[in-house]
Amino acid sequence: MMNADAPTVFVVDDDASVCASIQGLLKSVNLRSESFGTAEEFLRSKPPEGPSCLVLDVNLPGINGLDFQRQLADAGIQIPIIFVTGHGDIPMTVKAMKSGAVEFLTKPFEDQDLLNAIHQALDRDRVWRRQQSNFAALRKCYEALSEREREVMGLVVSGMLNKQIAFDLGISEITVKIHRGQVMRKMRAESLAELVRMASKLELLRGKK
């Protein structure tokens, strides 16, 4: 049984022999893979639960690889892409890399070059998934704050002193201290500097709540 966190390499190429070759290579280094003949087939598949990347042919029936890269980005689908093509040129390569591709390989390519790119792509996806998980946990902590605690947090990270916050909110300084302590505890912040960094990640410093 596959671990849900085990990485998956998705291969999209309309040449069945290329798919078989790449999948054989991946199997030899114990990497799980799935193959598809078109971008549309890949979109109909179940999204991966663990780290993943996409080995994508540029010249595909239907939507081509470069247009598909843009379509995924527009849809907010984050998956690192490694392009492979038999007819690459410099403008095509530049366009793909500027749009975030991990690598652009021209067929026939060396097996090790592909494996290196795949490992780089999977590492990139692991980092992104970890960041998303950390942000979700941070957001959950913030949502646990009361409305008043959110107000106090916003004023604290803006640099206001307790007495200034008390005056601004029309409450006592002691009450501000209590709310401030609750904010630090619920946000799991060890210091004011850490709380400011958290607020920055949540975009509270730009007035967004």
pLDDT digits (tens, 9 = 90+) for 123-179: 999 999 999 999 999 999 999 999 999 999 999 999 999 999 999 999 999 999 999
Which three-class secondary structure state does DSSP give residue 199?
helix
Q: What is the pTM of this model?
A: 0.77
User: What pLDDT does 6 receive?
Assistant: 86
- R_g of the chain, CA atoms, integer Å: 24
3 pLDDT tier (thresholds 50, 70, 90): low
Contacts of 27 (CB under 8 A, 6+ apart): 33
| Residue 78 falls in which region: left (phi positive, over 0), alpha (psi -120 to 50) or beta | beta
Is the CA virtual torsion 193, 199, 203, 173 positive or negative?
Answer: negative
Q: Tokens 């601004």 correspond to what residue? A: 168
pLDDT band at residue 97 under the 50/70/90 scheme: confident
Indicate whether 207 pLDDT > 50. no
